[in-house]
Amino acid sequence: MPTTSSQRIDIKQNYSSINRFAPLVLAWFDEHGRHDLPWQQHKTNSPDAYKVWISEVMLQQTQVVTVIPYFKRFIQSFPTVDDLANASWDKVAEHWAGLGYYARARNLHKGAKQLVAIIKKTGHYPKTVAEWEQISGVGRSTAGAIVAMGLHDYGVICDGNVKRVLTRWAGIENDITKSATTKQLWALAEALTPKNASGNFAQAMMDIGATVCNRTKPACLVNDKPCPIQADCIAFKQNKQRDLPFKAKKKHKPSKHSYALVINNPQDKSLWLKRPKNGIWGGLWCLPLKFIHKLQGKKIIEKANSDKVYEKELTTAEQIIDQFLQNNTITIKMDTETKQLKHTLTHFHWHITTCNITLNQQQQNKLNNLLADAHINFCWLDITEAQKQLALPAVISKIFS
C-alpha cells in the first residue's frame, strides 16, 4: 500500500484507519460482495480484458441490473474485440438501443478498431492505465478498472460510487463536483488501494457504493446490511450521511419541446428516419421530429424550427419534411390518443408529443422523391416491424407501448 500520509491528502482520518481500510473492505467482499456478474474475472487466472472493458463502458451512468441483459446479448453477438471491430455500426447500434448515452456505443466501436490495431502490432491488449486512456471513451477510472479487474494488475478506480463512499468515510465536505475535491479523492483512492489485490478491491468498493453506502438510503441509517468501514466513518459518527457528498445546487435545466410525427401512408405504415451519426440518438432510427417552443394543451404557442437552440437537433430530413407539409398544406392531427413524454438528457429536459399525419399515395411518392434526392436513409414500417428490424431510442419505443 502506498505510504501517503493523512496530512498530505488532507482528510480527517488518521493513519491507522487508512491502514486497516483495505483489509476490512476485502474481507467484506469475500463474504458479501457480488461474485456472479457475467463480466467478472476475479475467479480466473486468465482474465478477459475485453469483457471488463465492455462492461465498464456500459456501466457508466447505468445501473448493474439494467446492464446485465444488454451485456449478455452484446457479448453473444460480438464475443471478441475483432468481432466488434468488424461489425457494422448499424449492428452495434441495434444492440445498444434502449441503453441510452449512445456516444458510449460509438466510442466502443471506435475503440475496438483501435484495440485491434494495437493487438496486431504488440500481440496483446494495452497493459497500463495510461495506454488504456488512449482508447476512445476510456477515462482514468475506467482505465484503472480494466487494468485491475481485466488484467489483474495494479489499477485504481474513483467512479461515482467510490467517491460517495470515500467522501462519507473521510468526512470530506467540499463540493464533490469541484476539481480540487476530485484531486483529493483520487489521492485518497490511491492511498487506500492495495498493490496486490486492486481488482477485488475495485469491485468491492463499487459493491459497497451500490448496495451499502448508496445515495439515498445508506445501510447504516436503516440497519439493513453490514458496512465494513462504519467504525471509522466520519459521516456515520457525525450523523452526516444524508449531507455527504455535498453538491452545489445544479443550474436549472432548460426544456425543449417537439412533436414526434407519426406519418402514415395508405398502407398504414409509418415513416422512419435514420439520424445522423453526430448528435442526439446518432445512428439510430427515429420518427421525424418537429421542434416547437412550447405547447399549451395541444396548441402550438410559438414555432421554433428557426430558433438557434434547436438548429443542431433539426436534421436535413426533418427540414425537408417540415417544408413538404407546409407546401402541401398537410395538417398535423392530434387526437385523444396523443401521448406526451418527458425525456431527460444530460443538458435539458425533452418534452415529446406524438401527433398523426396521413398521406395519400401521391403525397407519399412526392415525399419519397424529396428524401431520396437528398440521400436520406428512410423506410416505411409499422411499429411492430420497426421494433423488430430497427435500432430505436427507448423513448420512441415508449410512445407505442
Q: Which residues are annotated as catalytic?
A: 56
Residue 290 host element (H or E): strand 289-296
365: which strand partners? none
- Residue indicated by cell numbers 476485502: 26
Distances (CA, A) of 242 to 23, 222, 229, 239: 26, 12, 17, 8
Q: How many angstroms separate the CA atoms of 270 and 173, rounded? A: 53
Q: CA quadruple 321, 305, 262, 334: dihedral positive or negative? A: negative
- What is the residue type of 301? I
Distance CA 71, CA 378 (A): 29
| Closest of 220, 221, 222, 206 to residue 159, by C-alpha | 206
Residue pair 201/193 in contact (Cβ under 8 Å)? The answer is: yes
3-state helix, strand, coil in the chain (%, to 5): 45, 15, 40
Quote the cell numbers at residue 279: 448528435
* Conformational region of residue 279, where left means phi above 0, alpha means psi within -120 to 50, and beta covers everything else: left
What is the gyration radius of the CA atoms in the chain, in angstroms?
25
